[in-house]
Amino acid sequence: METVAVSNSNVLDYLNDPSPRTLGRSPLEWLDRLQKPTVVHVTGRDRSRTRAMATLLHGNEPSGLFALHRWLFEQHTPEVNMLFLLGGVYPAKIPPRFSFRQLPKGLDLNRCFKEPFEGEEGAIAEAMLAELHRAQPECLLDVHNTSGTGPAFAVTITNDAEHQALTSLFTDRLIMTDLRLGALMEYSEQEVPTVTIECGGAQDDQAHQLAYEGLVRYTSRPDVLALEKAEWDVAVLRNPIRVELAPEATIEYRLEPSGQADLTFPPDIEHRNFGIVSPDEPLGWVGKKGLGILTAIGHNRTENMAQILRVENGRIFPAQAIKAFMITTNPVIAKSDCLFYAVKATGEPIF
């Protein structure tokens, strides 16, 4: 029995076992039909168990929605019941579609999954958590795109065999962090294995395909929490440093600094993602304020800048060989979220 966009909530809409007619012919057509953050239920062969997947928490990260539309349109029958949560419908629909991470002057939805659940985004996050509480899923995935181009990876606050098994459905890189930002990933603290999947760049067809293939594996296997069924070994990077830009600081992406910005990165800085940067390789330039515009926050909330970056004649260099990721050339994301994360070149934490 199909239920089409009939809400029993002021916050969420619901779809149960939607047909291709309901979905429209393309992800864009489906997005146009969505009016609110939406919950999709799909009945599985084993109705005694449920798995969950959230996606589109950020309106400019479409791979999860593209994958879900394709999977639903093809009318797959999952091994167990599936609960899908589409969070950032409102920013995704702002023209041009999939351009806005969050509503103008709105909050980042993926920082709102904790009390006091403030504003419209807090209400959406609280409603999504209530759906998860009702469904009691055996595991949860949160599917994103990276803020820049680069290879796929996963993030979790727990590193064990179950979380590595979930990761291996999509990628062979897992970041384990102790930082708590109010992200849905922290649902893992409810003793439900939870992993964030970063599929790659939002404009990358390979990222869309990876999201779809991972979703097929996630929904079709009787057991997704058994590490012996992993398709590849998972490399784990622990407790990266989060480098942030001060809210009042300015950033440019240029081949040479203009002298007008506090921080300048080259336009191809994204190519550094998951590569090793040696201490003699420049990353960019700082203005007159130097590194004072940056913070380097470790898992224990302590400042670690001296272990990450140094300045020589206005140029920024790593203080030691590092492996950086989540580097972006989007100045809005660089300021509202973070510049990048870093661990030692060996993959070990920086202390």
Domain boundary among 211, 237, 263: 237
Reported as a single tens digit per residue, the pLDDT across 308-328 is: 999 999 999 999 999 999 998
Domain boundary among 222, 237, 252: 237
CATH of the domain at 233: 3.40.630.10
Reported as a single tens digit per residue, the pLDDT across 244-299 is: 999 999 999 999 999 999 999 999 999 999 999 999 999 999 999 999 999 998 86
Reported as a single tens digit per residue, the pLDDT across 101-145 is: 999 999 999 999 999 999 999 999 999 999 999 999 999 999 999
Distance between CA atoms of residues 200 and 204, nearest Å: 7
Domain boundary among 237, 255, 270: 237
Residues 233, 261 share a domain: no
Residues 106, 49 share a domain: yes
- Domain range spanning residue 314? 240-344
Distance between CA atoms of residues 82 and 129, nearest Å: 15
Distance between CA atoms of residues 301 and 310, nearest Å: 20
Reported as a single tens digit per residue, the pLDDT across 150-167 is: 889 999 999 999 999 999
| Structure confidence at residue 4 as a pLDDT band (50, 70, 90) | very low
Q: pTM for this one?
A: 0.87
Among the listed residues 224, 289, 199, the one whose alpha carbon sits nearest the alpha carbon of residue 251? 289
In the prediction, which pLDDT does 2 show? 42
Among the listed residues 299, 311, 300, the one whose alpha carbon sits nearest the alpha carbon of residue 342? 299
- DSSP class of residue 101 equals S
Specify the pairing of strand 140-146 against strand 276-277.
unpaired
The length of the chain, given as a count of residues: 351
Give the pair of three-digit tokens for residue 294: 């940056």
